């Protein structure tokens, strides 16, 4: 017989045919768009921008601190973007916000008079910052206040510089009030009026990342962190929260920006959050305070008791005054701030004083904040009070004893990991510790249930359970110093491939005539209970290897094929459809379905 050389394969998508009335055409609904943070394995350039544009997206911002692009894309194309080998992760741009603040008193109470009409806020007094001021005011130390802005015209504040990343604004002037209150706690002037801050000669920079309503986006926070790093800031204060921190696992771009800023030498300070319970139980520190590079500061009242809603947990580092703190207010006046939004700037101000005293390494500043704190709660570090209440005078006059420094614990993970903290294998956990004080590490302990139960670490162990896991660990040295806050490692395990189905119809075409096209439809499904579907693809091949086609990621479609045979095979032709789905952990599930066109 004569062998036909031509195979016609027409690929299409099953469409709903819409009947339209002439003169009233029906337009397709526009795609749902989403702002996403696209992180690449290498710093993005023109090719990466073109990738986003090829998927119907728009590049909104290209970061330099991290290899990330902020883009606006159709939601239906996000899996295709994730499937590109250059892409490490694709994350929705999460929101951040100010914590709800309880109202303060309407008139000053408990403040100490200084000269003229200036008062010493009780928080500045409680941490003994005023005892340092005769010789150290934090002069010229650059402190970036990432917030709603700072009131440029306030007589008790000097704004050294400003920038905004909030749409619809042109500078870092405050339009909410929160940022001005925070700035005054850090650096209100010593000028015989109003109040005095912890570091009254620090250089305050208004980095506006939150809008008039106190809300914002992770993308803008990252921009503020990047600007601060690029422009030589030495301390960043962040009195807000949100953006994803749960189970020790955060958003990749946000976390990477904080880690890179910390590696560049900046001190990062944030309130632990106001999600705590009255009994102080649970791990509820929010982001960014929960991330390792950030000093998480809880709030105390004027009796040194923990404020009832101050967040607690394994990442809590120190405490600072945070109830009815009198400070500068938007509009040139004064007001009160309560919560960890008020405690964080006390610690940021103290960091400025320490840098001005000669400590230049951010790790040394961080350790000094902890080691000089007044112990509160249970002896040593604890999840309700951290290392205790900061004290500026003690920090500046601190004298290193033979071994006052706690050990430093590190958790290492090994396994087959894909992007975004997902492992598709068991995970081996190794814990190590170093004691910089010289007495040596006595022991390390770890917990797998958020600190409720602790085990002495003796050797690496393996976590086999699928789902989210959190390991926290701390160490003690031979001088009795205990570590706090704890080190932690959050990860997810998904060893199960996606479940997929694929049905083709018809499965067989009998008595097919030469030269006639026959339609075969295919319908697939896929699901993944743990990490979720990352990408999928359907391919079509024939039994002879003559045709190999890619039908793409659409699960429902059709092809038109022809009856055709090769050589002495007169039975017809078998077409194989194959659906392959990948989950976020990198597991692959696949299934095949066949249809035969018979002569």
Catalytic residues: 147, 178, 341
Cα 261 to Cα 524: distance, rounded to the nearest angstrom? 45
Q: Which burial class, exposed, middle or buried, applies to 131 when counting CB atoms under 10 A from its CB (0-12, 13-18, 19+)?
A: middle
Cα 271 to Cα 178: distance, rounded to the nearest angstrom? 14
Cα 218 to Cα 241: distance, rounded to the nearest angstrom? 10
What H or E segment, with its residue span, contains residue 259?
helix 252-263
Strand runs labelled E in 280-418:
294-300, 316-321, 325-328, 334-337, 408-414
Cβ(190)–Cβ(196) below 8 Å: yes
Six-digit token string for 258: 């904080």
Cα 63 to Cα 220: distance, rounded to the nearest angstrom? 11
> Can you say whether the dihedral through the CA atoms of 202, 206, 209, 211 is positive or negative?
positive
Cβ(512)–Cβ(519) below 8 Å: no
Q: What is the DSSP string of 390-406?
A: --HHHHHT----TT-PP
Cα 209 to Cα 270: distance, rounded to the nearest angstrom? 14
Strand runs labelled E in 274-359:
294-300, 316-321, 325-328, 334-337
For 598, other C-beta atoms within 10 Å of its C-beta total 15
Q: Which burial class, exposed, middle or buried, applies to 539 when counting CB atoms under 10 A from its CB (0-12, 13-18, 19+)?
A: middle
Cα 233 to Cα 162: distance, rounded to the nearest angstrom? 12
Q: What is the 3-state secondary structure (H, E, C) of 15-36?
A: CCCCCCECCECCCCCCCCEEEE
Rounded alpha-carbon distances, angstroms, from residue 425 to 87, 89, 416, 441, 537: 22, 19, 6, 31, 24
Q: Which of 395, 253, 273, 411 is nearest to 340 (CA)?
A: 273
Cβ(483)–Cβ(522) below 8 Å: no
294-300 and 267-271 strand pairing: parallel
Where b means 16+ CB within 10 Å and e means fewer, 367-384 reads bbbbbbbbebbeebbbbb
Six-digit token string for 499: 């479940």
Q: What is the 3-state secondary structure (H, E, C) of 483-535?
A: CCCCEEEEEEECCCCCEEEEEEECCEECCCCCCCEEEEEEEEEEECCCCCEEE
Cα 244 to Cα 246: distance, rounded to the nearest angstrom? 6
Q: Which of 507, 516, 577, 505 is nearest to 542 (CA)?
A: 577
Cβ(514)–Cβ(4) below 8 Å: yes
- Residue identified by tokens 């570090």 is 381
């Amino acid at each position: 017989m004569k062998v036909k050389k031509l195979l016609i394969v027409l690929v299409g998508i099953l469409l709903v045919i819409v009947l339209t009335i002439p003169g009233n055409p029906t337009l397709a609904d526009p795609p749902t768009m989403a702002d996403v943070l696209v992180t690449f394995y290498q710093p993005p350039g023109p090719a990466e921008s073109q990738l986003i544009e090829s998927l119907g997206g728009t590049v909104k911002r290209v970061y330099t601190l991290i290899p990330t692009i902020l883009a606006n894309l159709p939601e239906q194309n996000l899996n295709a973007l994730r499937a590109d080998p250059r892409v490490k992760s694709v994350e929705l741009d999460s929101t951040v916000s100010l914590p709800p603040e309880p109202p303060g008193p309407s008139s000053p109470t408990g403040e100490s008079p200084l000269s003229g009409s200036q008062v010493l806020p009780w928080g500045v007094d409680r941490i003994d910052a005023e005892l340092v001021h005769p010789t150290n005011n934090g002069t010229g130390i650059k402190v970036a206040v990432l917030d709603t802005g700072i009131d440029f015209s306030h007589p008790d504040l000097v704004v050294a510089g400003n920038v905004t990343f909030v749409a619809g604004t042109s500078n870092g002037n405050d339009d909410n009030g929160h940022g001005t209150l925070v700035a005054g706690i850090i650096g209100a002037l010593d000028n015989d009026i109003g109040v005095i801050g912890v570091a009254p000669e620090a250089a305050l920079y208004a980095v506006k990342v939150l809008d008039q309503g106190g809300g914002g986006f992770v993308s803008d926070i990252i921009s503020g962190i990047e600007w601060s790093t690029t422009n030589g800031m030495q301390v960043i204060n962040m009195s807000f929260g949100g953006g994803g921190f749960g189970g020790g696992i955060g958003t990749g771009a946000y976390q990477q920006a904080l880690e890179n800023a910390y590696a560049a030498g900046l001190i990062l300070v944030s309130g632990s959050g106001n999600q705590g319970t009255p009994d102080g139980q649970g791990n509820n520190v929010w982001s960014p305070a929960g991330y390792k590079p950030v000093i998480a500061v809880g709030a105390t009242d004027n009796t040194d008791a923990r404020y009832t809603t101050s967040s607690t947990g394994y990442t809590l580092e120190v405490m600072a005054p945070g109830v009815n703190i009198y400070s500068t207010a938007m509009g040139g006046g004064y007001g009160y701030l309560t919560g960890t939004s008020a405690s964080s700037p006390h610690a940021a101000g103290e960091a400025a004083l320490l840098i001005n005293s000669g400590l230049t390494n951010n790790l040394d500043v961080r350790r000094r904040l902890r080691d000089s704190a007044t112990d509160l709660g249970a002896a040593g570090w604890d999840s309700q009070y951290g290392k205790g209440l900061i004290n500026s005078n003690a920090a500046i006059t601190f004298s290193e004893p033979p071994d006052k420094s706690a050990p430093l614990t590190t958790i290492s993970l090994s396994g087959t990991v894909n992007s975004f903290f997902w492992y598709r294998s068991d995970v081996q956990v190794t814990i190590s510790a170093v004691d910089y004080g010289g007495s040596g590490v006595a022991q390390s302990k770890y917990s797998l249930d958020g600190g409720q139960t602790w085990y002495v670490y003796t050797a690496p162990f393996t976590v086999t359970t699928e789902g989210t896991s959190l390991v926290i660990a701390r160490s003690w040295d031979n001088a009795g110093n205990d570590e706090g806050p704890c080190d932690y490692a959050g990860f997810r395990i998904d060893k199960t491939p996606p479940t997929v189905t694929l049905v083709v119809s018809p499965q067989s075409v009998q008595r097919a005539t030469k030269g006639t096209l026959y339609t075969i439809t295919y319908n697939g499904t896929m699901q993944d209970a743990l990490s979720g579907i990352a990408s999928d693809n359907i391919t079509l091949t024939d039994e002879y290897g003559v045709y190999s086609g890619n039908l793409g990621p659409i699960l429902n479609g059709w092809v038109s094929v022809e009856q055709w045979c090769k050589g002495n095979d007169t039975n017809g032709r078998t077409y194989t459809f194959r659906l392959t789905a990948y989950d976020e952990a990198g597991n692959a599930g696949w299934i095949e379905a066949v249809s035969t066109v018979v002569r």
